Amino acid sequence: MNYAGHFSIMNYSKLILLNSSILTEFGTYQYDRISHAKAKELLHECKTGRCAVESVIGHQPTADLLSEILDFPVSVSRSEFHQAVGDLALVFRLKRRLQEFKVLNTEEMKNIGYEFGLLRRLS
Q: What is the pLDDT of residue 74?
A: 94
- 72 in Cβ contact with 44 (< 8 Å): yes
**Which domains, ranges and CATH numbers included, belong to the chain?**
11-121 (3.40.50.11170)
- Find the range with the poorest average confidence among 6-15, 31-40, 108-117: 6-15
Q: Over the stretch 71-111, which tens digit does the pLDDT of each residue have?
A: 999 999 988 889 988 889 999 988 877 666 667 777 887 88
Confidence of residue 11 (pLDDT cuts 50, 70, 90): confident
| 60-62-65-71 Cα dihedral, nearest 10 degrees | -90
